[in-house]
Amino acid sequence: MAAWVGMRATATPSQVDAVARAIRSTPIIDHHAHPLLKPDALAKHPLLALTTEATGDAIDSATTTLPHLRAVRQLASVLRCSYTWEAVVAAIEERRLDGPDDWTADCLAGIETILIDDGLDHEDDANPYPWHDDYTRSRCKRIVRIEKVAADIIRRLGKACDDSAQTGDVFDDAFAIWTQEFDSYIVTALDDPDVVAFKSVVCYRTGLDVTDKPPEASEAKARADFKELIANFALLDFEKLQTKSLNDLVVHRTAKLIRDSPSRHKKPIQFHTGLGDNDLELPKSSPAQLQGFIRLYPTVPIVLLHAGYPFTRETGYLASVYENVYADIGEVFPCVSQDGQERILREILELCPWSKILWSTDGHWFPETYLLAVMQMREVFETVLCDYVRKGHLGWRAAVDLVRDVLFKNAKKLYHLDLEFSELEEEPGPAQGSYLSDAELLQSFLKDQPAPDFVRICWNDFTALQRMRMVPFRKFTTLLNEGKPTDIGITAAVLGLLQNDTMIPSVSATGEYRLHPDFSSLRKGPVDGHVSMAGEFRAPSGARVPLCPRSLLQRAVEYGAENGLSFLIGFEIEFLLVERAADTRHDVPGAAPRYATLTTDGHAWSVSRYFAHPKIAALLRDMVAALDGMGIYAEQLHAESATGQFELILPPYPPVEAADTLLHARDVMSALATAAGFKLTLHPKPFAHACGTASHMHMSISSSGGDKPETYNPFYAGILKHLRAILAFTYANPASYERSSDGTWSGGRWVTWGTQNREAALRRIEGSHWEVKVVDGLANPYLAVSAVLFAGVRGFVEREAMVWGDCEMDPAKLTGNDRKELGVTEMLPGSVEEGLVALKEDGVLEEMMGRELVERYVAVKEAEVTFLGKMEAEERRQWLMERY
């Protein structure tokens, strides 16, 4: 028995998935929100208010906040537009024109009912609360804003007093009329089945430090202040009640009427707390200021809105120690960053019973506010609650109960709603934060196919060697089913190794990374019985490792998205098939070469005779078929110039997927070539007399406006500006420079570009579709693409001028004056050493790639150059062909 003390049961993936499904499928009672605008009023209010409480000139700064940038990404993904605020606004306006009802319905998907505070300013611009019934599963209800009721009565009485004799009796009568009419309105609302709660914004008016004395004790002060207000009404531009004694009186009278109402079911008062616009005084917005008032009315339900942010723990404390207090965690979605939202949810759950927690959108004016709130809530709930379940802090059934209580059942009970809980018939799609667990991704991937024998988790190191760890499928699925991590511990020296596994001097065999499989990259192969995934290195804490090439490319893509750019990348795989020599004593000095040129009939670019060779034709067919069976659909296949050289063209993908696909396709093709008795090599110049082998990269800007010169010119100008340093990543091996020459269609040796010019380092094809020719198969594609993207996006951000003219011929054949006129003034590095110097001198690219990564990369490459330099030319050629 003692052995079990302190141990916690670990949740299985299916149990964690059950929690995630509950988060996705639970309908929401949105217990605090505001009406949507009428179509003709939309233009009167700034759409920037989606993620901020700022107003006036301050709202413009919202574009540089984390909540805004996150909202842009999420809205752009839903609207399928470019990742810029301008593109999002244009797409929203288009949806408003094309199908406003459908768009509103999409934004409010998953909401059971809305409890609507219709007391905002500009009420004539907004739709009445019953109008929203068309977009929810159940009828919407009303929340009465008490300060607005009080102010409306004062406004009417003030005007009436202006037109009558100004005597003390008139003012005294006005106070009596005001309190009587206010009380009458509240009593009527208490009896109205469509009114489910009351709302106070005293936080905005005079602060939450409401007096803790009964209203009778301070009525004399309130009467005197009211008399002064009415006496000077004509001189005032009265809009809102800003007198403390009167605001406190309004709150107390409402609470007293609720307390004394005969109904057993008391209607709550909601209080705005914390987060708000600059009308409020932040110190007086803490819910802790209400503690005395709470004690005075122990039978009146009190809801503290908006998590009291930034006073979240105070909110949770009050809800935990007072039976009549409830904690709302709305509005922080989407007005706070994702990390902040996760922290808020964790802080509320530190102390507060979840039976006292409610969730709301605080949606207002724009349907997109509802969309973002729900979308982000589901995402954050999954992150936090599934983490609790995995760690054993919360049982999975309890977590499901928590979700249903917070999103539905607590509000149903508190507001006495006649609603039945039933899960959403269709789980929300990607717009509402859909989630597929790793187990679901694997299950979906393996549907209708036999289980594999092994799972590969792959990475590409700084020498561009493709490495992997392999786990038996039985073991891998056992880990998943038991809820155990599927990441693998790898020595931290992994990104400091040469091709022969020698560590560079600056690294040691101490420390460990975790290799995390990315289940979204699952592919069959590269051989029968295997499935493969790309892996990313992370610290034991789960944080990204700055040295991880794949994580770097993720960051480069994010940098582009933050600046409104997205991309498609397509690689050409040039490869050479060679024959294996009979004598395989390749490690013996003076032994015959291990690889030899194919003995076939004459070879030339795009000739057809090779495809009549039965063995080669079958191999090429099998390559295309195997890739096709993996969902990689080759676009072209043809013979290249060197004997046994071919080119297979891959389709375009987003950058990370493009690099993943390139590496996997090479593995597949190499395995098939080996099985057929050939060796496939990517060596840039395997035979001095033959054409070199590249890995040309096609790219285009896929985001909105990408084909406009004002977008792609500065982008490609940025690449040209940093091209000498980029070459350290694209021509990454001494053999790369054996291929680099003028007049060989290799991209030449000059920093320039040209339309359909294959002698230029950048070939412009059409619009934003350009080809980077100075890259080969010995480059780590994650690093190469990262360098290109970082440089290009930086050029776009800084509006880099395209100072290079369109070079229409081989730049090597231009005169010096012609090159000068075209801005062709720099040559590309002629060796790895020169490329590394250019990289170290380019502080901008070094900063974007990360100084730690650049330092490590340079150290690996310098060690590699030293190591390879000790070999004779033929020995080095054979040694590299073995490995690439």
DSSP states of 46-84 as a string?
-GGGGG----GGGGGGGGGSHHHHHHHHHHHHHHT--SS
Considering the four listed CATH numbers 3.40.50.450, 3.40.1440.10, 1.10.1040.10, 3.30.590.10, the one that applies to the domain covering 554-883 is 3.30.590.10
Compute the distance between CA of residue 739 and CA of residue 685 in angstroms, rounded to an integer. Answer: 5
pLDDT at 830: 87
Q: Map residue 683 onto helix, strand or coil.
A: coil
Query: For 739-754, how does the pLDDT look when each residue is reduced to its tens digit (9 = 90+)?
Result: 777 666 666 788 898 8
pLDDT at 789: 95
Compute the distance between CA of residue 438 and CA of residue 350 in angstroms, rounded to an integer. Answer: 28
pLDDT at 4 over 60: no
Q: Region of 747 please: left (phi>0), alpha (psi -120 to 50) or beta.
A: left
**Do residues 457 and 468 touch, judged by C-beta distance below 8 A?**
yes
Which is more confidently placed, 615 or 835?
835
DSSP assignment of 222-289: HHHHHHHHHHTGGGS---S---HHHHHHHHHHHHHHHHH-S-SSPPPEEE--S---TTS-GGGG-GGG
Please state which of the ranges 188-192, 313-317, 624-628 shows the lowest mean pLDDT: 624-628
pLDDT band of 8, cuts 50, 70, 90: very low
**Do residues 538 and 513 touch, judged by C-beta distance below 8 A?**
yes
Compute the distance between CA of residue 721 and CA of residue 799 in angstroms, rounded to an integer. Answer: 12
Amino acid letter for position 597: T
pLDDT at 376 over 90: yes
CATH topology of domain 29-432: TIM Barrel (3.20.20)
Q: Is 865 exposed, middle or buried (0-12, 13-18, 19+ CB in 10 A)?
A: middle
Match 């060596």 to its residue by tokens: 683
- Beta pairing partners, 457: 469, 533
Mean pLDDT in residue range 645-667: 90
pLDDT at 246: 93
Task: Cite the residue boundaries of each domain of the chain with CATH code 3.10.20.70.
Answer: 438-545
What are the CA-CA distances from residue 648 to residues 651, 671, 695, 764 (Å)? 10, 15, 10, 21
Match 């992994």 to its residue by tokens: 494
Mean pLDDT in residue range 468-485: 83
Q: Map residue 85 onto helix, strand or coil.
A: helix
**Do residues 316 and 348 touch, judged by C-beta distance below 8 A?**
yes
Please state which of the ranges 422-426, 633-637, 715-719 shows the lowest mean pLDDT: 422-426
pLDDT at 828: 87
Per mean pLDDT, which of 449-453, 611-615, 810-814, 850-854 is the most reliable?
A: 850-854
pLDDT at 599: 67
Q: Are β-strands 28-33 and 488-491 bridged in parallel, bridged antiparallel, or unpaired?
A: unpaired
pLDDT at 590 over 70: no
Q: Map residue 325 onto helix, strand or coil.
A: strand
Match 């007072």 to its residue by tokens: 322
Residue 755 CB: number of other CB atoms within 10 A?
Answer: 13
pLDDT band of 428, cuts 50, 70, 90: very low
Mean pLDDT in residue range 133-147: 95
Per mean pLDDT, which of 229-243, 304-318, 589-603, 797-811 is the most reliable?
A: 304-318
Q: Region of 50 please: left (phi>0), alpha (psi -120 to 50) or beta.
A: alpha
**Do residues 362 and 31 touch, judged by C-beta distance below 8 A?**
no
Helices (H) and strands (E) in the chain, counts: 30, 23
Compute the distance between CA of residue 250 and CA of residue 244 in angstroms, rounded to an integer. Answer: 10
**Do residues 756 and 769 touch, judged by C-beta distance below 8 A?**
no
Tokens in use for 878? 């054979």
- Beta pairing partners, 699: 569, 770
Please state which of the ranges 77-81, 586-590, 691-695 shows the lowest mean pLDDT: 586-590
Task: Cite the residue boundaries of each domain of the chain with CATH code 3.30.590.10.
Answer: 554-883
**Do residues 737 and 830 touch, judged by C-beta distance below 8 A?**
yes
Query: For 745-791, how does the pLDDT look when each residue is reduced to its tens digit (9 = 90+)?
Result: 666 788 898 888 888 888 889 888 989 988 888 999 999 999 999 99
CATH class of 438-545: alpha beta
Query: For 225-249, how does the pLDDT look when each residue is reduced to its tens digit (9 = 90+)?
Result: 888 888 887 777 788 888 999 999 9
pLDDT at 807: 83
pLDDT at 584: 52
pLDDT band of 3, cuts 50, 70, 90: very low
pLDDT at 71 over 80: yes
Compute the distance between CA of residue 633 and CA of residue 429 in angstroms, rounded to an integer. Answer: 27
Please state which of the ranges 436-450, 574-588, 813-827 shows the lowest mean pLDDT: 574-588
pLDDT at 713: 92
Match 């880099």 to its residue by tokens: 800
Match 């094809």 to its residue by tokens: 765
- To the question of pTM greater than 0.85 for the whole model, the response is no
pLDDT at 582: 60
Mean pLDDT in residue range 366-385: 93
**Do residues 663 and 857 touch, judged by C-beta distance below 8 A?**
no
Match 């993996």 to its residue by tokens: 630
pLDDT at 267: 96
End-to-end C-alpha distance for the chain, whole angstroms? 58
pLDDT at 2: 33
Q: How far is CA 50 from the centre of its chain?
A: 18
Task: Cite the residue boundaries of each domain of the chain with CATH code 3.20.20.140.
Answer: 29-432
Angle between helices 614-629 and 655-675 (to 10 degrees): 140
Q: Are β-strands 753-755 and 645-649 bridged in parallel, bridged antiparallel, or unpaired?
A: unpaired
Compute the distance between CA of residue 227 and CA of residue 222 in angstroms, rounded to an integer. Answer: 9
Which is more confidently placed, 325 or 519?
325
* Nearest of 299, 165, 664 to residue 459 by alpha carbon: 664
Please state which of the ranges 431-440, 670-679, 748-757, 824-833 shows the lowest mean pLDDT: 431-440
The helix (H) or strand (E) run that includes residue 770 is: strand 769-772
pLDDT at 592: 56
Which is more confidently placed, 89 or 434?
89
Which is more confidently placed, 851 or 737?
851
Compute the distance between CA of residue 603 and CA of residue 211 in angstroms, rounded to an integer. Answer: 95
- Of the chain, the percentage scoring pLDDT greater than 70 comes to 92
DSSP assignment of 166-193: --HHHHHHHHHHHHHHHHHHHHHHHH-T
pLDDT band of 171, cuts 50, 70, 90: low
Tokens in use for 387? 């983490």
Which is more confidently placed, 606 or 161?
161
DSSP assignment of 17-44: HHHHHHHHH--EEEEEE-PBBPGGGGGG
Q: Is 742 exposed, middle or buried (0-12, 13-18, 19+ CB in 10 A)?
A: middle
Q: How far is CA 262 from the centre of its chain?
A: 51
pLDDT at 167 over 70: no
pLDDT at 7: 34
Tokens in use for 61? 């700064």
**Do residues 190 and 262 touch, judged by C-beta distance below 8 A?**
no
Query: For 524-538, how does the pLDDT look when each residue is reduced to its tens digit (9 = 90+)?
Result: 989 989 999 999 898
Residue 503 CB: number of other CB atoms within 10 A?
Answer: 16
**Do residues 439 and 516 touch, judged by C-beta distance below 8 A?**
no
pLDDT band of 46, cuts 50, 70, 90: confident
Please state which of the ranges 256-260, 631-635, 837-841 shows the lowest mean pLDDT: 631-635
pLDDT at 446 over 90: no
Query: For 547-572, how does the pLDDT look when each residue is reduced to its tens digit (9 = 90+)?
Result: 999 999 988 988 888 888 888 899 99
